[in-house]
Amino acid sequence: MTSLRSLRPALAASAAPRWLAAGLWLLAGLSASYWGLRAWGDAELVKVPAPAAEPATVDPEAVARGLGAVNVVASQTEGEPIEASRHVLLGVVRDGAGRGAALIASDGKPAKPYRIGDELPGGLVLRELTPREVLLGPVEGEATQRLSLPARR
């Protein structure tokens, strides 16, 4: 009888040709794939036209809600007098230097963004922005009206 020790070298020697054959078949398959793809050729590139740019539309009410405004749509009927302040501050966006914009609704119409120096309906100009207030005034002279954001709930 042969011992297991004498079979080990014989088993190891018979495994090497199997691995060598498997490696050669793998290389032959990869080579055939490469040359098959080369013979098939590259597909011609087709340019896809870029979609036409649509102008951005701004929904002032959505911007107001995004800035935390409470439902502030004033309805005014014909002949009803406008209250003392015809402007309602809905939001303020500003940086540390005081630059930014205020979202202001005038005469019950949808809100619009105004920057410092922009004229509001009624001849007032946005003069100054603070984190929760804006100051309005005439083109010449000092600020005459202060608008504050509604209290947070």
CATH number, residue 123: 2.30.30.830
pLDDT score of 32 more than 90: yes
In a domain, 109, yes or no: yes
In this prediction, residues 87-114 reach a mean pLDDT of 84
pLDDT score of 23 more than 80: yes
In a domain, 134, yes or no: yes
In a domain, 57, yes or no: no
In a domain, 46, yes or no: no
* Structural domain of 124: 84-152
In a domain, 141, yes or no: yes
Cβ-count burial of 145 within 10 angstroms (0-12 exposed, 13-18 middle, 19+ buried)?
middle
In this prediction, residues 76-102 reach a mean pLDDT of 67
Could you give the number of structural domains in the chain?
1
In a domain, 38, yes or no: no
The pTM score is 0.44
